[in-house]
Homo-oligomer: A and B are copies of this chain.
Amino acid sequence: MARTPTTTDAFNAVAEASRRDLLDAIGAEELTVGELVDRLGLSQPQVSKHLAVLRAVGLVLVRADGRHRWYRVNGPALKPIHDWVRSFERTWNTRLDRLDDLLAELKSQEEAP
């Protein structure tokens, strides 16, 4: 047998660094394929193909607008990864670290509402 297809789940889709880069680039915005091509310096087919994989696992959502496609990140699709990794968090993070993390996050949300 071969490797698990990239479109199987978020874990496999996100294994490829280019795809993580795409998600990072989009972030909280809504971007066009062309914009992504410019920002990441990848070829257009490359971007389209990676986006297709991300779409297949629900990691991005698209909105058609004339001949443009606006892509945005669908955060909740990452939750399975987050939840799984989280079960090992205690290994490296003490409770005080976690408290620091939370406070830092609350603060950042305070600053950027």
CB atoms of B20 and A84 under 8 A apart: yes
State how many angstroms separate the Cβ of A58 from the closest Cβ of chain B.
12
- In the docked arrangement, what's the CA distance between A15 and B106, Å? 31
Contacts of A105 in B (CB 8 A): 90, 95, 98
> Do A92 and B79 contact each other (CB < 8 Å), given the known contacts A3-B6, A4-B15, A6-B3?
yes
CB atoms of B90 and A81 under 8 A apart: no
CB atoms of A3 and B4 under 8 A apart: no
- In the docked arrangement, what's the CA distance between A12 and B20, Å? 12
Contacts of A99 in B (CB 8 A): 102
State how many angstroms separate the Cβ of A62 from the closest Cβ of chain B.
17
